[in-house]
Structure 1
């Protein structure tokens, strides 16, 4: 994904693709943020986040103590609250002028959490913040309004385009098995499900509306790969 402004990496408590997390960490960041159980993979990989946030129902006490002893700023919340730990963390990061966020551990696991995390992408996109959610098997990003994105292939991977939360208009696909030219994808239609890579990157363009780009098969994705790149229109 092309950086616009400051870049943040956030690690939550869901399933994590360790290879892609190591790749993102090695590429550099302006802010590293752990959400509850997400403190464990960062500590295990030898990284120290600037912030650790949560109600700490999923991070062992030994990790909490270790990170706090190293000077990590701990933001502690009650378990009974009106917002998820991830939403609270995204608000904290957005306040620090981070306009690109890679969010690990926010897909898979509980369906309700996965769905609300996807909905948070729309709110953040409307405020000018680009999110990529990366699980251990899927990665998701969102385009709204006019946009163009490049998807990088890997063996065993495939991708889908889903209108969300509105219809997607003027959708074009180049470089994939099933191309498309200025089509409308309607909310509730399955037309954009399961497209396949050929030999090179795929480009997707959107003229209006909003569109989820979902890459599947990350268990086959080797370390060192980039998944998405935002392109100028």
Structure 2
């Protein structure tokens, strides 16, 4: 029953994540009227994005580990052992992709004039390297936050949100700075470009390899937490 609820949470959160990004853009550029070339508009959008990330971090906590990003599911699966890895790859990641595809279809039905998602503005290998580097840093940081401050929800979420936003801005003009294959897949599927070399190499292969490398690197540099160490934050919070 626990795994079923987790899968349902993944589906719902993936759906909501795509909608959240679209609604932030509509709010900033449509309702508030900021131009897409206006620096003030960008700042306001970034602020709403941070609020959105805090909201989803809270939802993840409330759902006991629901995810909307296949890279997070992959990193978690690899870190927890073979059984968890298989479950993540065979069940959780496909469900997150389905949630994203359904969300984009729903968005395009409600707002037919909406954008078409991230675009690659550099060569394929350059794009794959960019998404890979961004992913490596955010996965390594996420693992580090879990290890160093496992009991501080606000601090972890604040650091992770600012880091994700910073990396997104750095990669926005190159690949979109996505670091979320499922989200990109939703838009690519809507355009009929989900099986192109560009999509698979840049938004899947690069980030997936970077995630595996980040988990390996982190486990080599830092010793895994023992069960006793994992229980300490829980005891303190109680």
* Structure with the higher helix share, 1 or 2: 2
| Greater fraction of residues in strand | 1
Task: Settle same-fold status: TM greater than 0.5.
Answer: no
Q: TM-score, normalised by structure 2?
A: 0.24
Higher relative contact order by CA 8 Å / sep ≥ 6: 1 or 2?
2
TM-score between the two structures when normalised by the length of structure 1: 0.24
